[in-house]
Structure 1
Amino acid sequence: MTRVKRGYVARRRRKNILKLTSGFQGAHSTLFRTANQQGMKSLTSSHRDRGKRKRDFRRLWITRINAAARRSKKSYHTLIQELYKRKILLNRKMLAQIAILDTYCFSTLLGD
């Protein structure tokens, strides 16, 4: 049988995977098989953690708002409820920033 030269397809695929894992340590960036495994693992982790990051930040903002609200003897739940009743539609990120940077403004939002 004659020899089949595969051309550039396999080489291009390997180069792309090694390019994806170029910043990884040790064999994870140089050996194709381990780089391929680590690249797949990193892509699944990054996909999963994009959603997790959103949840983590929301938890952080709620914690900060709750801490600032409890200084004025209110709970987070009652604060959010009052803001909705008064039609003050600020998201939790903005409320947390106001609670940290401008306590006077936050106290006016509380209605104190």
Structure 2
Amino acid sequence: MTKRRLIRVAKEAYLHAGEYAFAGRRNKKRDFRQAWIVRISEAVKKQGINYSTFIKNLKNAKITLDRKILAILVLDHPAVFQAIVDKVKSFK
């Protein structure tokens, strides 16, 4: 017998599916943030600066770009990202 034939088991699976969906929506946010950090980290490493220093100097320079926007700039607008990195490198 399978879940589709056993009502009690199917009902239990249906209830758990909601829990898994909820957890998945929470994990999606975590996974995207990790991907953005990896993408930014690799880009700034090529410029001779590490990720934590870049983020610290970014905040000290009062540049309010979040990680999502920075990751988009890395992929789609490398010249703009390069300008940001240069400004952050000069700010110490």
TM superposition score category, shorter chain reference? 0.7 to 0.9
The answer for unaligned runs of 5 or more in structure 1 is 1-26
Structure 2 residue 71 is the aligned partner of structure 1 residue 96: yes
- Please tell me the root mean square deviation across aligned C-alpha atoms, in Å: 1.7
Q: Which structure has the larger Rg over C-alpha atoms? A: 1
Kindly report which structure 2 residues correspond to 1:1-112, keeping only aligned pairs within 5 A, or say none: 27-29=2-4, 31-111=6-86
Identical aligned residues as a percent: 30
Name the SS for the 1:111 alignment partner. helix
SS of residue paired to 2:25: helix
Which structure's relative contact order is higher, taking Cα pairs within 8 Å and 6+ residues apart? 2
Q: Hey, which bits of structure 1, 4+ residues long, moved more than 2 A?
A: 27-32
Q: Which has the higher helix share?
A: 2
Deviations 1:33-75 (A, max 9, x none): 1221111111111111211111111000000000010110111
Aligned to 1:3: none
